[in-house]
A and B are shown apart, each in its own frame.
Chain A
């Protein structure tokens, strides 16, 4: 199946550092979502983006919907140990595309935070 290109694949950072990860696609999406998944659990929504250019924050998290509608980034500021987990971007297909209504996931970014 189709996947989005998410990078980096993994990050190992010191507590207090900022983190940035991004996703790109060859297709246009009309919604970008960012999720966090803990081991053995389903993904939990962090931020949803609905318009090109939109910049949205949720606490220490900030995400942007790229102008071209083919990319998005997520920033985490002042990381803490509980930020550890796998972060996924997901794009919802535009109407009329082969992915209409479907949520397609990136490969994930594994984040480890050293106290």
Chain B
């Protein structure tokens, strides 16, 4: 079956620093990748949609200069949280979409804690 690898699974960083999260589709090519943020006891909120080789499309209210998304290949997308602040602490989850039988496959998430 389809597997999406997300790294790191957790990260603690100091306020003001940047953190990069990677999302890789291991056995299929993902036309589109999605990035979600989930606060405790809440649902997944879509942050942005990225297509390989083009600029990401951000949802309303999501700062594109703060959450940099790069989708350089059909198997890798990265989310960089720049100048992180404690309010950016959250669970970030990526999802890769395949036109074939796999549909949407989610990564295992990254727990970001900004101190």
Binding site for B on A (CB under 8 A): 1, 3, 33, 35, 40-45, 48, 88, 90, 92, 101-108
With known contacts A1-B61, A102-B46, A105-B43, A41–B34 Cβ distance under 8 A: no
Binding site for A on B (CB under 8 A): 4, 6, 32, 34, 36, 42-46, 49, 59-61, 91, 93, 95, 97, 103-109, 111
Q: Tell me if A's interface is mostly helix, strand, loop or mixed.
A: strand
Additional 4 contacts, C-beta under 8 A, given A42-B106, A43-B93, A103-B95: A41-B108, A101-B32, A103-B34, A108-B43
Complex: chain A residue closest to B34, CB-CB? A103
4 A-B pairs closest in CB distance: A42-B106, A105-B44, A105-B43, A42-B108
How far is A103 from B95 in the complex, measured between Cα atoms in Å?
A: 10
Cβ-defined contact, A104 with B46, below 8 A: yes
A109 to chain B, nearest CB (A): 10
How far is A42 from B105 in the complex, measured between Cα atoms in Å?
A: 9
B81 to chain A, nearest CB (A): 18
With known contacts A102-B49, A103-B46, A104-B46, A1–B59 Cβ distance under 8 A: yes
B114 to chain A, nearest CB (A): 18
A-B contact pairs, 8 of them (CB 8 A): A1-B45, A33-B104, A42-B107, A92-B104, A102-B49, A103-B34, A103-B46, A106-B43
